[in-house]
């Protein structure tokens, strides 16, 4: 019985020793393509190029000339994934919004969902505010002024199992 327990413990020790893994932070700009599928790097690169292309077109200059130098106010509409591949549309939309807004060439308003949240918050504040601190409706522009994020990328390497 003791001999069998010893053999089992030795086998478990060898197994767990072979199952170690190394976790290493890598630069978020580093491309790590394990599957060939759409990933965060693809989303970032495509959004950067699409925004660069959109802002290079004459519509921005034409709008500003026709509106006394004011920047166009934009919103990213519905984005649909027409490919056969799974793409996180929400991540892609956020990448587009961040690139557009941070370019400084357009102004940005909150999305329909965000505006709805703001309205609900205003109604809640109005209900719980005193008359001298309540904010009047239609005094906020729903304009976004900055979108940022901090991405972290990790590479996990599993040790080869070597009995």
- The pLDDT tens digits for 52-94 are 999 999 999 999 999 999 999 988 888 888 888 888 888 898 8
3-state secondary structure 1-32: CHHHHHHHHHHHHHHHHHCCEEEEEECCCCCC
For residues 83 and 77, give the distance between their C-alpha atoms in angstroms, rounded to a whole number.
18
* Domains in the chain: boundaries: 2-158
For residues 148 and 161, give the distance between their C-alpha atoms in angstroms, rounded to a whole number.
41
* The pLDDT of residue 162: 54
For residues 80 and 83, give the distance between their C-alpha atoms in angstroms, rounded to a whole number.
9
- Span 91-140, pLDDT tens digits: 898 899 999 988 999 998 877 777 788 788 878 877 777 776 666 655 57
- Span 5-52, pLDDT tens digits: 566 666 656 565 555 677 677 777 777 766 778 888 888 888 999 999
């Amino acid at each position: 019985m003791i001999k069998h327990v010893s053999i089992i413990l030795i086998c478990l020790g060898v197994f767990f020793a072979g199952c170690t893994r190394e976790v290493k932070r890598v630069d978020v700009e580093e491309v790590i393509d394990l599957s060939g599928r759409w990933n965060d790097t693809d989303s970032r690169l495509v959004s950067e190029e699409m925004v660069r292309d959109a802002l290079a077109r004459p519509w921005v200059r034409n709008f500003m000339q026709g509106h006394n130098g004011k920047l166009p106010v934009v919103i990213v509409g519905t984005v649909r994934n027409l490919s056969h591949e799974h793409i996180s549309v929400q991540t892609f939309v956020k990448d587009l919004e961040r690139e557009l807004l941070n370019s400084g060439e357009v102004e940005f308003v909150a999305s329909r969902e965000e505006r709805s949240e703001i309205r609900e918050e205003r109604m809640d504040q109005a209900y719980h505010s005193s008359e001298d601190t309540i904010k009047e409706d239609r005094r906020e522009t729903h304009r976004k002024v900055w979108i940022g994020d901090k991405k972290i990328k990790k590479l996990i390497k599993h040790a080869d199992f070597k009995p």
